[in-house]
Structure 1
Amino acid sequence: MLLIYTHKITPRVRYTFKHIITRVLQIPISFTNKVEEFVAHNGPKFSYTKVALGKEFFIKSHDLLFQQGIRDVEIHMQKWKGVPCFFLQGDKSNIPFDIFSASFYLITRYEEYLPHIKDKHGRFEAAESIAFKYKFLEKPLIDIWSYMFLEELKQRFPEYKYSSRKYSFISTIDVDNAFAYKHKSFVRTVGGFFKDAYQLKVFNLWDRFSIRFNIKKDPFDTFQKIIDLKKQHDIRTLFFFLIADYTTFDTNVSASKTKFKLLIKNMVDYARVGLHPSYYTMNDLAMLKKEKERLEAITNMPIKRSRQHYLRFSLPDTYQKLIDLEIEEDYSMGYASHAGFRASTCTPFYFYDIDFEIQTPLKVFPFAVMDTTLNDYMKLTPKQALGKIRDLKNEVKRVNGVFITLFHNESLSGYQRWRGWSRLYDSMLKIVKA
C-alpha cells in the first residue's frame, strides 16, 4: 500500500489519486493528514502539499484539488521529458508539475464548464479544447503521465512489488439506421421513391424496389457479419440501438416494427445491448426515460449502458439525467469531428460532478475513434483510416489501456458513401487483436 500525506483530504483529491494510482497503476493507496502517522509509516509513501515535510518523495500541489466549483484557470503548457504538461510547481517537487491537478482538469472536462463556443449541434468543439490547441488530442496524456510517475516511484521504492494491468479492446456499434430501406413506414417509403425519382437517382430507385420486394438484401443489415467477426476474433462487442420517435435527426426504423424488435432481441443473445438516446434527449429527461423504458420492454432486462446520438451531451446536465435513470455506463466521451481522447485518458473513469463535488456511480468509457470521423470529417481513404486506427491503438497499448472504437452497422455495408469501406472493420479487428 502507498500512503499519501496531504494537508486536506478533499473529494477531488480522493477521486484523482484513485484514478491515477489505483485504476491506472494498480497500486492500493491510503490517505492521511496527520504528520506523525506519515512519519511512522515504513512502507512506500509521498506527500502532496505546498511544502515538503522533510526529505520524502514530494509533489508540490496546485490549488485546484482544494477548491470548490468552477474558477478561471490559467494554463501555461510546458514539457516534462518531452511530454506536454501544465501546472508547473518548480524544482523542489520530485515531479516538476502537479500531475494530479492537471489530470483532474482534463478528466473532469473542467474546460467544458467554462464559457465556450458550441458547434451547430450544441456540442463542445474539439478545437476549443487544450488537447487540440496543444496537439496532444491523439495521446492518452493522463495515462502517459501516470506511467512516467510510476517510473519515479520505482526508483524511489524499488523493493515494492508493482502490479500491471493488461491492454484490452471493446468494439461498440451504433445502430442509427438498422435498415436502409426495409421495414420503413409506407409514408417514408413512398416519399423516398418520389425523392429519388425527382433527383434522378436511378440506382437508388432500383435498390428501393428490389429490397422492398425481397429481391436483394438490405445493405445496412450487416448484423450477422458483425456477430460472425465477434466470434472469429473473440472480442467484446456492444450495440447501441436508437429507438426514438422519428425526427429530422432520428431516422431509424420505428420501434413498433416487429422485425426491428426481433433484431434487438437477437443481438441480446450474442452481445451486450445499450440505449442510443435520441438527438433531443440531451436536455429532456422525460424523453430519455421514455426511450429507456421502450428498450427495456423489448429486451426484458434493465438497460444500464448508453451513448448519446450525435454524441450530443452537455456537462453536467446530461450525465446527471443518466444517473437519475440509473444508467451505469456511458460511451459518449469522444468527438465527432476528431479522433483521439476527449478526456485525455484511455482508462474508463467515474464521472466527477463538479456541481456537487462528488464522484458519481456513472462510469465513463472514452472511445478513441469513430468510422464517420474518419470518412466524413477527416476525408480519409480506408487505407489511411486503418493507419490512423493503428496509431491510436499503439498509443493505448503502450499504457496498457482500453481501446474503444465506434462503428456503425452502415459502414460495413460498402453502400453509397461507404463504398470501399466494407472490409475496414474486419481489418481493424485483426490489428487491434494483434
Structure 2
Amino acid sequence: MHRRYLGAGPDMHAVFHMERPSPRARYLIGHLLGGMMGRELVEETDRQRFDAHQGPRLYYGEGGPADAFVLTPSPTLDTGLPPLDPQVDPLGAAFHLLTLAHETGLPEDEHGRPDHEQLQGWTLAAMERPVVDEWALALDDAWSRQDHRLPPRRRSYTQVVTLDLDNGFKYLGRPWWRTLGSAARDVLQGRLRELGERGAVLMGRAKDPYVIDELFEQVTSRYADRTVVNLLVAERGRHDHAVPLAFPPMAERARALSHRHAIGLHPSYASSEVSGATAREKSRLEAVIGSSVKVSRQHFLRFKVPGTFVELEGLGIREEHSLGFSRRTGFRCGTCTPFPWYDRKNERRTELECWPFQVMDSALAYGMRLGPVAAIEEALRLAGAVRQVGGTFVSVWHERFISGHGHEAGWEVVLPRVAEGAAP
C-alpha cells in the first residue's frame, strides 16, 4: 500500500512524499496543507510513483524534483526542542504550539493550570494572533504560485457559539437547607430584592433568572453556524455547583436543549485527577438525553497533557473544547482552526479533534476586568482576526452573563452584540 489519505475535500488530488518519513511531519503536512485548506492530500510513499504523478506534488526533503514544491525538513520537529525563529522553522513552531509543548514546565495557578503570563519570546507573541493559520496560508500561497494546478483551498470563516451550564438554575433544584441558608444570608445582608425574587421563583410566580435558553436560541439561530451546550453533571463539590440531573426540570431542560444544540459534557473540576469520574458523568448525561455524547470541555479548563485527552478519546469523545485562556482572550495554540490532537508520548495522530476558543465571558469580565462595552469591542477584535484568515471563531458563554443578573447586570447585551458582529 503506497498511499495514505489525509486531509479533507472531495475531487482534489495533490500528493506529497517524505524523503525521511516521520509521523510528526506526516501529521503537520496533512493538517496544514490538507485539512486546513479543505483539500485532499495524498501521501505517496513510493518515490517512483511520486515522480510519475501528473498533478501537484509536494516534496518534504533536501533534494526534490525541480517542478515539485519543496519543503525543507524542520530542524526541530523530531527533536522536541523549541524553534528559535518560527519564520525560519514554521513546521517546528506549529507542532510546538498545536501539541502545547510551549506550556511544558510553566508555573501553575491556584487551579493547577499553566500560568500563560510566564510565556516568553515568540510563544508569547503567538498568543495574540492565529500564527499557525498565517504560516499555513503562506505555505499554501507559495505552493499555489509555483503550481497553478493546485486545487483552490476550500476554507471560510465560521462562528461557533458555545454555552457552559455551570449552574442550570439559580434558585430551583437546591436542597432545602441550602435554600434556607441562602435566604437567611439575604436577610442578614439586607438583600431584600433577592430574597423576594427567590421566593417568587420557588413559588412559581417568576422564572428562574438562569433559564436563558430562549434568548440563547433566538440569538444563535440568527447568527451562529453552530452551537454547543456543555452540561456540568457532577456531584456537588466546592467548584461544582450545577443542579443535578436527578431534579426533573433539569433533566427535561437537558433533553430539550439536545433537540436544538450539540450537547457536550462539562467534566467536573477534579475529573482530570479522579479515575473514572469523566466516564461516570458521561454515562449520567447520556442516560438522560438518550444519545451518545461526543463533545467535551473541562470545567475550569483543568486538564492534564496527554492524560486527559487520551482518556477522552478512549471514552468516545471526538471534540475537545478546552483550549483557550481562562483570564484573557487570544489563541492558546496559535490557531483558530479545529485540529486533530497529536499524542507526543505515543507518536500518533489521535481521533480527538481540538476546537480552540478565542473569547470567554468570564475572562473578559474577571480576568481582563472589562465592562460590557469594552468586552464587546475586544471580542469583535478577536473575531476580526479570525475572519482575516478564514478561521473558526469560537466563543464561550455562561448563563449568569447571558442573564445579566446580579453582579453580571449589563452583560445581557454582550452575547447578542458579539454574535451579530461576528456573524459570517
- Aligned-partner SS, 1:135: helix
- Aligned-partner SS, 1:279: coil
Corresponding position of 1:150: 140
- Aligned-partner SS, 2:27: helix
Corresponding position of 1:102: 93
**Residue number among 136, 139, 149 corresponding to 2:129 in the alignment:** 139
1:318 aligns with 2:308: yes
TM-score scaled by length of structure 2: 0.91
Verify the 8 A CA contact 2:361 2:398 in the aligned structure 1.
yes
1:332 aligns with 2:322: yes
Work out the CA distance in 2 between the residues paired with 1:271 and 1:328.
16
Work out the CA distance in 1 between the residues paired with 2:43 and 2:224.
40
CA positional deviation for 1:129: 3.8
Quick one: structure 1 residues 161 and 352, their matched pair in 2 at CA, closer, same or farther if it must change by over 3 Å?
A: closer
Work out the CA distance in 2 between the residues paired with 1:272 and 1:213.
32
CA displacement 1:226-263 (0-9 Å, x = unmatched): 12223343642111011111101001112210111111
Q: Specify every segment of 5 or more residues in structure 1 that has no aligned partner in the other structure, as ranges.
A: 78-84, 87-96
CA positional deviation for 1:160: 3.2
**Residue number among 303, 310, 323 corresponding to 2:293 in the alignment:** 303
Equivalent position amino acid for 1:387 in 2:
E
Equivalent position amino acid for 2:73 in 1:
S
Verify the 8 A CA contact 1:8 1:66 in the aligned structure 2.
no
Work out the CA distance in 2 between the residues paired with 1:387 and 1:282.
34
Equivalent position amino acid for 2:19 in 1:
H
TM-score scaled by length of structure 1: 0.89
Work out the CA distance in 1 between the residues paired with 2:70 and 2:161.
40
CA positional deviation for 1:174: 0.3
1:353 aligns with 2:375: no
Equivalent position amino acid for 1:247 in 2:
G
Work out the CA distance in 1 between the residues paired with 2:409 and 2:236.
27
Count of aligned pairs between the two proteins:
411
Corresponding position of 1:14: 26
Work out the CA distance in 2 between the residues paired with 1:33 and 1:23.
19
Equivalent position amino acid for 2:63 in 1:
A
Work out the CA distance in 2 between the residues paired with 1:62 and 1:428.
39
1:294 aligns with 2:302: no
CA displacement 1:304-345 (0-9 Å, x = unmatched): 111111111111011111112111111111110111111111
Equivalent position amino acid for 1:15 in 2:
Y
**Residue number among 361, 378, 385 corresponding to 1:395 in the alignment:** 385
Corresponding position of 1:111: 102
Corresponding position of 1:52: 63
1:219 aligns with 2:239: no
Verify the 8 A CA contact 2:224 2:419 in the aligned structure 1.
no
- Return 368-377 or 51-60, whichever deviates more: 51-60
Q: RMSD value over aligned CA atoms?
A: 2.1
- Aligned-partner SS, 1:403: strand
CA positional deviation for 1:34: 5.4
CA positional deviation for 1:220: 1.0
Equivalent position amino acid for 2:162 in 1:
T
CA displacement 1:38-69 (0-9 Å, x = unmatched): 444443323322x33465543322243335xx
1:230 aligns with 2:241: no
Corresponding position of 2:252: 262
1:207 aligns with 2:207: no
Equivalent position amino acid for 1:251 in 2:
H
Work out the CA distance in 1 between the residues paired with 2:256 and 2:49.
57
Quick one: structure 1 residues 17 and 177, their matched pair in 2 at CA, closer, same or farther if it must change by over 3 Å?
A: same
Work out the CA distance in 1 between the residues paired with 2:118 and 2:167.
30
Work out the CA distance in 1 between the residues paired with 2:123 and 2:296.
29
Verify the 8 A CA contact 2:106 2:114 in the aligned structure 1.
yes
Corresponding position of 1:197: 187
Quick one: structure 1 residues 144 and 213, their matched pair in 2 at CA, closer, same or farther if it must change by over 3 Å?
A: same
- Aligned-partner SS, 1:281: coil
Verify the 8 A CA contact 1:8 1:33 in the aligned structure 2.
no
- Aligned-partner SS, 1:343: coil
1:170 aligns with 2:160: yes
- Return 121-130 or 375-384, whichever deviates more: 121-130
Verify the 8 A CA contact 2:113 2:302 in the aligned structure 1.
yes
Work out the CA distance in 1 between the residues paired with 2:64 and 2:291.
54
